[in-house]
Amino acid sequence: MDIATGQSVTTADRESIITEVLDGIYTESGRANPYPLYDKLRALGPVVTAPNGTVLISGYAEQLAFMKDHRLKKHPGRRLAATGWPDWKDRPSLRLMFDSMMFLNPPEHTRLRRLVQATFTPGRVKGMRSVVEQITADMLDALPRGTVNWVEGFALPMPIAVVGALLGVPPADWPLFQSLAANWTLVLDDVSPETVERADPSAVEMEECIARLAHDRAKKPQDDLISAMVAAQGDDKLTRRELVTMAALLLVAGFETTSGLLSKGLAALLKHPEQADRLRTEPELAGPAIEELVRYDAPVQFVANRTAEEDLEVAGIKLAPGQPAWALIGAGNRDPKVFTRPDELILDRQEAAPLSYGGGIHYCIGAALARLEAQVALPAVLRKFPDIQLAGPPTPRSSHLISGFVSLPVTV
Asked whether position 210 contacts ligand HEM by CB under 6 A, the answer is no
Asked whether position 365 contacts ligand HEM by CB under 6 A, the answer is yes
Which segment (39-47, 178-186, 359-367, 376-384) binds ligand HEM by CB under 6 A? 359-367
**x-marked contacts with ligand HEM along 291-310 as a string, rule CB under 6 A:** ---x----xx--x-x-----
- Classify residue 321 by its DSSP letter: B
Type of residue at 204: V
Please, which residue, 14 or 74, has the CB nearer to ligand HEM? 74
- Classify residue 300 by its DSSP letter: B
How far apart are CB 410 and ligand HEM at their closest, in Å?
A: 20
Whether 320 contacts 308, CB under 8 Å: yes
Determine which residue in the list 261, 279, 293, 317 makes contact with ligand HEM, applying CB under 6 A.
261
Please, which residue, 334 or 362, has the CB nearer to ligand HEM? 362
Q: CB nearest ligand HEM: which residue? A: 366
Asked whether position 370 contacts ligand HEM by CB under 6 A, the answer is yes
Asked whether position 397 contacts ligand HEM by CB under 6 A, the answer is no
DSSP string of 123-184, one letter each residue: HHHHTTHHHHHHHHHHHHHHSPSSEEEHIIIIITHHHHHHHHHHHT--GGGHHHHHHHHHHH
243: left (phi over 0), alpha (psi -120 to 50) or beta: alpha
Q: Strand, coil or helix: what is 84?
A: coil
Asked whether position 46 contacts ligand HEM by CB under 6 A, the answer is no
Type of residue at 171: P
Separation of alpha carbons 330 and 386, rounded Å: 30
How far apart are CB 132 and ligand HEM at their closest, in Å?
A: 11
Please, which residue, 59 or 254, has the CB nearer to ligand HEM? 254
Determine which residue in the list 63, 149, 202, 258 makes contact with ligand HEM, applying CB under 6 A.
258
Q: What separation in angstroms does the CA of 323 have from each of 51, 54, 326?
A: 12, 7, 10
Whether 227 contacts 262, CB under 8 Å: no
Asked whether position 195 contacts ligand HEM by CB under 6 A, the answer is no
What residues contact 180, with CB distance under 8 A and at least 6 apart?
Answer: 202, 203, 205, 206, 209
204: Cα separation from own chain's centroid: 23
Asked whether position 317 contacts ligand HEM by CB under 6 A, the answer is no
Asked whether position 22 contacts ligand HEM by CB under 6 A, the answer is no
Determine which residue in the list 156, 199, 250, 410 makes contact with ligand HEM, applying CB under 6 A.
250
Separation of alpha carbons 109 and 111, rounded Å: 6
Number of residues that bind ligand HEM (CB under 6 A): 25
Whether 34 contacts 332, CB under 8 Å: no
Asked whether position 118 contacts ligand HEM by CB under 6 A, the answer is no
Q: What does the longest C-alpha to C-alpha distance in the chain come to?
A: 71
Whether 39 contacts 17, CB under 8 Å: no
Please, which residue, 44 or 187, has the CB nearer to ligand HEM? 187
How far apart are CB 243 and ligand HEM at their closest, in Å?
A: 13
How far apart are CB 259 and ligand HEM at their closest, in Å?
A: 8
Which segment (43-51, 170-178, 338-346, 360-368) binds ligand HEM by CB under 6 A? 360-368
Residues constituting the chain: 412
Q: Strand, coil or helix: what is 2?
A: coil
Asked whether position 50 contacts ligand HEM by CB under 6 A, the answer is no
**x-marked contacts with ligand HEM along 147-186 as a string, rule CB under 6 A:** ----------------x-----------------------
Which of 306, 292, 265, 276 lies closest to 104 in space, CA to CA? 306
Which segment (31-39, 87-95, 189-197, 245-253) binds ligand HEM by CB under 6 A? 245-253
Give, rounded to a whole angstrom, the gap between the first and last alpha carbons of the chain: 49
Please, which residue, 250 or 382, has the CB nearer to ligand HEM? 250
Binding residues (CB under 6 A) for ligand HEM: these are: 101-102, 113, 163, 249-250, 253-254, 257-258, 261, 294, 299-300, 303, 305, 356-358, 362, 364-366, 369-370
